[in-house]
Chain A
Amino acid sequence: MALNFDIRRSEYVTNPVLRYIGYGVIALLLSVVHVVFLRFMQVSSVTPDLLLILTVFIAIFEGQFTGMIAGFLCGLLFDVVSTDVIGTNALAKTVAGFVAGYFYRENHGMQFVGSFNFLLVVALSGFFHNLIYSFFFIKPMQVSFWLFFLQYGLAATLYTTVAALFLMLYVNRRRD
């Protein structure tokens, strides 16, 4: 089934319940991958945010409302597994889903994700996500907010956008 998975005609696409369950499973897997395996992709302590890409993906496919809920739940999940302060990632990813939801066009999700516009939306959402996250992350530290954001926030945004490129290319190829 997996080998012949057709993303356009699959039951996973047409049945919303199965789709949402699929999003949940993917979110769980990505959060574990993030915590366990992303250290291999770490560059100067910066890693791509896979759950942010998923949030943007859901917001573009399902709309702003679902994107925000998905962002909140993905962030909450990440807060739990990463031992971060619970609520920081939830807030940041809610805002990211809200921003990405503005680019929702019904039944045009595949075209959008398979284009470079998807990368721009990931970059824009990542920017707001990291802006909010940096603010709460450095709050208990004696570090300049802007210095931290420019050093790590923008780098994380760029890295996440680069990681989203693989999803874009994959969807683009499937679409063709």
Chain B
Amino acid sequence: MRGLIEFVVRYRNYITLSTLVVMSFSLMSIGNLSDLGGFRAVIVGSIGWIQSAFSWIPNPVALKSENTALRELNLQLAVEVARSRQAIVENATLRNLLRLPQYTDYGLIAADIVGKTTTEQRNYATINKGKADGVREGMSCINDAGLVGIVIGASDHYAVLELLINRDTRVSAKVLRTRVDGVIQWEGENILVLKNVPRSLDVQRYDVIVTSSYSSKYPANIVIGKVSSVEDEPNSLFHRVVVQPSVNFSTLEQIFVVDARPDPERINLERKIDEPARPKQTP
């Protein structure tokens, strides 16, 4: 017994250390808030009360880091807002495009504009659909607003469109209300002109202009635009009918290629008959 007491006294520090370590591990094994019940909850509640009592004291370091975090968050939110706005516009456009096939008799091939080119007032656009998707040279392109242009070249996966706002474009058109015929031609910026309309014929502002069935290149009855003004030029027998295109070419992103090509029999026949007098550009 004496030996045991001497041993304990001699090694009391190590024995105490071992005991405290064992106690610590024991506490760790049960150590969470719920296991200890109300006592610790009271302590935590009291500490929380003291913390809230002194929460009015500003902490410059925390404020600075909070400010930095808020700035970063603000930047992220600004980017998110911009993306959301873009998505809303895109959504509206796509919804309109989705409705389009219900109102047309032609097969449509949806495509995205992936590039735009302007060379000496010749505006072209490149789309991400090509021969592999059924796109062929001579097919017309439309969107929910109206006529966009015509395919002038296609590779396997891409095609190039000659847009309506192109110096070389001629479209046989008519006034929807009065069936008066003419030829649509681009005159720069955002102005189309319906030519060859005699002064005696009835054309008024806000008349809708559509493609004519006389055209060998474009399907009939596709909206081109609205008459914005009718001018009578001096020393001329014709109206100068200015047309506002219905398609907004500056924001053009999605289009449909009309899966219909001009009837080759008709083109050959017309070419055969008109060969000597045929102009270079066929409307």
Which residues on A are within 8 Å of B, measured CB to CB? 32, 35-37, 39-40, 42-43, 64-65, 68-69, 72, 75-76, 79-81, 83, 85-88, 90-91, 94-95, 98, 101, 136
Contact = CB atoms under 8 A, between A and B. Distances in A.
Decide if the interface of chain B is mainly helix, strand, loop or mixed: helix
B50 A72 contact: no
A65 B16 CA distance: 7
Given A35-B51, A40-B57, A94-B17, A72 B24 contact: yes
Report which residue of B12, B17, B20, B61 has the largest number of chain A beta carbons within 10 angstroms of its beta carbon: B20
A69 B16 contact: yes
B58 to A, nearest CB: 9
7 contacts: A35-B50, A39-B62, A80-B43, A87-B23, A90-B20, A94-B24, A98-B17
Contacts, number: 82
A78 to B, nearest CB: 11
A36 B50 contact: yes
B119 interface: no
A87 B25 CA distance: 6
Contact of B44 (A39, A75, A83, A87): A83
| Chain B interface extent, by class | 20 to 34
Given A39-B62, A64-B13, A91 B21 contact: yes
Interface string B252-279: 0000000000000000000000000000
Nearest to B14: A98
A42 to B, nearest CB: 6
Interface in B21-45: 21, 23-33, 36, 40, 43-44
Decide if the interface of chain A is mainly helix, strand, loop or mixed: helix
A64 B12 CA distance: 10
B16 A68 contact: yes
A86 B36 contact: yes
Contact of A94 (B21, B28, B40): B21
A32 B20 contact: no
Contacts of B32: 85-86
B13 A101 contact: yes
Contact of A32 (B12, B29, B40, B47): B47
Contacts of B21: 91, 94-95
A85 B31 contact: yes
B102 interface: no
A36 B56 CA distance: 12
B54 interface: yes
B59 interface: yes
Contacts of A68: 13, 16-17, 20
B26 to A, nearest CB: 7
Contacts of B20: 68-69, 72, 90-91, 94
